[in-house]
Amino acid sequence: MDSLRSALQPITHNLPAPIRDLGVSIIGETCYKTLLLDVDLASTECLKLAVSKGLGIGIIGASTVVKVPQIIKLLRSKSASGISFLSYFLETSAYLIGLAYNYRQGFPFSTYGETALIMVQNVVITVLVLNYSGKASTAALFVAGLASSAATLFAPNILDMKSLSYLQAGAGALGVASKLPQILAVWQEGGTGQLSAFAVFNYLAGSLSRIFTTLQEVDDKLILYGFIAGFILNAVLAAQMVYYWNAPTKSAKSKGKEKVPIEMASASTTATPKGKSPTTRRRG
């Protein structure tokens, strides 16, 4: 340890001011001194905090693209097969409440920052699902309702903190409930359709990491229990993704069956000799 400390300290003691300031802002002055200046890796509390901050930043970074593959799949296929509107509606509502609650409580951004980024992507997906389902007017109402709800949730003069705490308790239940329609949709379709595997497995990893960061940095059981329940249902959805991997949905199978008679009729027509009608029969 002494040899490692003597090798690292000349570097950590001469870091540029912007990097030092960033490190202090992330893990605090005390842990920055302990881990970087003193290179004391025996401090478990500072190590846990550093790991938690690292996970939080990683989750926020991953959340910028976590739903992009899902958006691309929808745009390319122009189909909402296998995607539950109710699931995204409930999840987006829960995220909006959670975002307002965390922000107004003053919790570290690293513990909830991905909520805002994922919520924006959820809105895009929800609008696409409604459009491809022939409900463009409903999509406009959804966006308008979301905007008015955000204005209410973030305004202390409209909604007090006690009422927002009650909503946060309900948001935890909403977040859990949001997974159930998607799980049911996959089961009913017998396949995952346009559901993105990248998004599903990233959600699973993210919810597990959030349990750790919440335990380390946020003393709030409402948020912790929501992440635990979310992880369990994300695990179910991930298991479905593995089980139904590349399996065609029921709607895709039915479309395939509808094409068979047309193709057979086309084949029989082309097989008729030139100059003769397939329905002409010689009378004798």
pTM, whole model, 2 decimals?
A: 0.64
Examine the domain organization and report whether 158 and 84 are in the same domain.
yes
Residue 33 and residue 129 in one domain: no
Structure tokens at 199: 């998004």
Is residue 75 domain-shared with residue 208, that is, in the same domain?
Answer: yes
- Based on the fold, state whether residues 26 and 121 are members of the same structural domain: no
Q: Which pLDDT does position 100 carry in this prediction? A: 93
Whether residue 244 lies inside any domain: the answer is: yes
Residue 263 lies in a domain: no
Q: Report the run of H or E that residue 198 belongs to, with start and end.
A: helix 197-217
Same domain (yes/no): 13, 126: no
Query: What pLDDT does residue 1 have?
Result: 65
Task: Write down the pLDDT at residue 183.
Answer: 85
The secondary structure of residue 275, as a DSSP letter, is T
Same domain, 107 and 175: yes
Helix (H) or strand (E) holding 23: helix 17-32
Q: What distance in Å separates the CA atoms of residue 98 and residue 264, rounded to the nearest whole number?
A: 56
Total number of domains constituting the chain: 2
**Claim to verify: residue 115 and residue 143 sit in the same structural domain:** yes
CA distance 34 to 263: 74
| Stretches in the chain below the pLDDT threshold 70 | 1, 246-284
pLDDT value at residue 267: 44
Q: Is position 272 within any domain? A: no
Alpha helices in 64-135 (DSSP H): 68-77, 85-105, 113-132
* In a domain? residue 201: yes
Q: Which two tokens stand for residue 210?
A: 């959030």
Would you state the pLDDT for residue 187? 85
User: The domain containing residue 37 runs over which residues?
Assistant: 2-42
Residues 23 and 120 reside in one and the same domain = no
Residue 239 lies in a domain: yes
Residue 123: the pLDDT is: 94
Q: Which residues lie closer than 8 Å to 148 by C-beta, 6 or more apart?
A: none
Please report whether residue 126 resides in a domain.
yes
